Amino acid sequence: KFKIGIMGAMNEEVKSIRENFTDITTETFGKREYTTGKLQGIDTVLVFSRWGKVAAASTVTTLLHHYKVNCLIFIGVAGALSQDLNVGDIVISDQLFQHDMDARPLCEKHQIPLTNDRLFKSNETLVQNATKSAALFIASINQTLSAITREKFSIIAPKVVTGKIATGDTFIHQSSQKLALKNDMPDTLAVEMEGAAVAQICHDYDIPFVVLRTISDKADHSAAIDFQAFISEVIPKYASGIVNEM
Ligand code: ADE
């Protein structure tokens, strides 16, 4: 039977998506709570991954191996690396890499040791569906967020873009870090802490996946300033809004 896995890097996202579930049961493995139920009539397992590559790897492995989900959708926030991105924009992964993976001179930079993998490709159909859902959600943003909230976070005309995402176990909050990442892989749109770890494991298990990220900050000195407020005031609406359009 077809089953979807949804992972969220923010508990606020997972809680808001969970409100749309029916027939809920929950189980805990490895300190993660897995919610099984139906989302728009489809069997779905939802879980909060926590942060970082190891946390995400542990969680996605349980979704694949224990729950046997047939595809995986990862939702979270990211810092913008591209100058064209603003807070409130949505980035859909077409490729992901681990910017902190570097086993040179044994392997190439970013290459996963003992494999030929460096850039992980998302599933094209999932990318198309996610892009469509995110675009539908964004089109009604003025009904979803109050003018006050939009002004507070400078969410003016949010957009949906598809492209490259960098993953690593660092919260990027200094211009020097941001610059180094941009030099490393110039066409990278955004940086986060889980996506390419999930991608690596989905690749190992041959499971289609996609990563959706809302830009929460610009990955510079201002990154931490409004982060928590954005997460609590805006992110739950994005998460449930996008999933409802799927
Ligand atoms: N997730 C959201 N913002 C981020 C940042 N600046 N660095 C890494 N992960 C993030």
DSSP 126: H
ipTM above 0.90, yes or no: yes
- Nearest 5°: the CA angle 119, 125, 128 is 90
| pLDDT at res. 227 | 87
Write the pLDDT tens digit of every residue in 75-109.
999 999 999 999 999 999 999 999 999 999 999 99
Please name the residue whose Cα sits nearest to atom 2 of ligand 1. 78
Distance in Å, CA 190 to ligand 1 centroid: 8
Give the residue-averaged pLDDT of 158-174.
Answer: 97
| pLDDT at res. 224 | 83
Atom of ligand 1 nearest to the CA of 173: 6
Distance in Å, CA 1 to ligand 1 centroid: 36
Give the residue-averaged pLDDT of 181-187.
Answer: 95
Mean pLDDT of the chain: 96
The CA distance from 161 to 183, in Å, is: 21
| pLDDT at res. 13 | 94
CA atoms within 13 A on the CB side of 49: 29
Q: What is the CATH number of the domain that holds 224?
A: 3.40.50.1580
HEC letters along 163-183: EEEEECCCCCCCHHHHHHHHH
Tell me if residue 117 is catalytic.
Answer: no
Dihedral sign of CA atoms 39, 42, 47, 53 in order = negative
DSSP 221: T
Domain count, the chain: 1
Write the pLDDT tens digit of every residue in 133-156.
999 999 999 999 999 999 999 999
pLDDT confidence band for 222 (50 / 70 / 90): confident
Domain span at residue 50? Answer: 4-244
Q: What is the Rg, in whole angstroms, of the alpha carbon atoms belonging to the chain?
A: 17
Pocket lining for ligand 1, CB < 6 angstroms? 77-79, 171-173, 191-193, 216-217, 219, 223
Q: Structure tokens of 158?
A: 């949010």
Strands of the chain, DSSP E? 4-8, 21-29, 32-39, 42-48, 71-80, 90-98, 120-121, 160-167, 188-192, 209-217
Q: Ligand 1, from 13, 169, 171: best to mutate by most atoms within 8 Å of Cβ?
A: 171
pLDDT confidence band for 226 (50 / 70 / 90): confident
Distance in Å, CA 165 to ligand 1 centroid: 11
Tell me if residue 226 is catalytic.
Answer: no
Q: Which amino acid is at 171?
A: F
Catalytic residue among 12, 13, 89, 192: 13
Distance in Å, CA 191 to ligand 1 centroid: 6
Atom of ligand 1 nearest to the CA of 172: 7
> Quick one: angle between helices 11-18 and 235-244, nearest 10?
40
Write the pLDDT tens digit of every residue in 119-136.
999 999 999 999 999 999
Write the pLDDT tens digit of every residue in 34-60.
999 999 999 999 999 999 999 999 999
The CA distance from 107 to 104, in Å, is: 5
| pLDDT surpasses 90 at 114 | yes
Please name the residue whose Cα sits nearest to atom 4 of ligand 1. 79
Catalytic residue among 12, 187, 217, 233: 217
The CA distance from 191 to 200, in Å, is: 16
Distance in Å, CA 170 to ligand 1 centroid: 8
CB–CB of 230/153 below 8 Å? Answer: yes
Please name the residue whose Cα sits nearest to atom 9 of ligand 1. 192
